[in-house]
Structure 1
């Protein structure tokens, strides 16, 4: 699928079919994230694949507002994306650490790969990282940044007019002063 079609097809799916994501597709999604660029090739991102009831339940505890059917939005697959800030490149001028940027690039590449495979996703940041740390017994140097739910959609993308209402106007997008 052309990238321009991916950007039009992808949406925040919040209802999934009770159908597992095939192992081959999971492997392709993970590989897309693994190959993602990072600042100075430091690769500070780590991913936990939540595809069992126990792991999806842990993710749902952290994202309790979106818990459904023992998972987040009922998704058959949740990817917990963590960052190791000590591994990430840091800009010398203002000490900006690239870990969050790098993990966002990984998440984006996995998201677009999933859509290219006929799946849908929802990028979730509204979760309690402390609960995720405890539930997944994360090491002290790994901080949970994102969750990506993945599966076969049980809902549908909004009509183009509705999508346009929720999208920034081009003149505002291109105007830093707006």
Structure 2
């Protein structure tokens, strides 16, 4: 009778350990899938913005046709974003596109009739909305990556993560110039 009880206790312990391993593994899979979903949301917003850019460029071209290098830079930066792969590469391409768009809007400032154009205003508003959505999506992605990476690094889930090959995810980081404090002069 005591052997039977000992076998039941050992089986109970094995089932509890197996249950913990399954729960930790499933938690890691769920967290990894949340990271993938959050990245997909960024991708959707980046594509939305990229789709708006040709219309914006064409509208500005109608008023500022001689600003050819600006249009070429914006087009090249958009293509770079569309062809980028991975979090770091897409982040760098996104930052490049943001910088070229700033130049495009600086050119637009020199053309009051362009700034008054309803099509330009609508495109500019949609682009601003896209930028807000991208910022939110980046924040959500980074929060999700933080939770996932914490699971990969903390005990005991780090043992399961290492055993099953879970790798830490990359954060979507701002460009170096975006981190610096702007200089304001009066």
- Give the TM-score taking structure 1 as reference length: 0.27
Q: Which has the higher helix share?
A: 2
- Give the TM-score taking structure 2 as reference length: 0.27
If you compute each CA radius of gyration, which structure gives the higher value, 1 or 2? 2
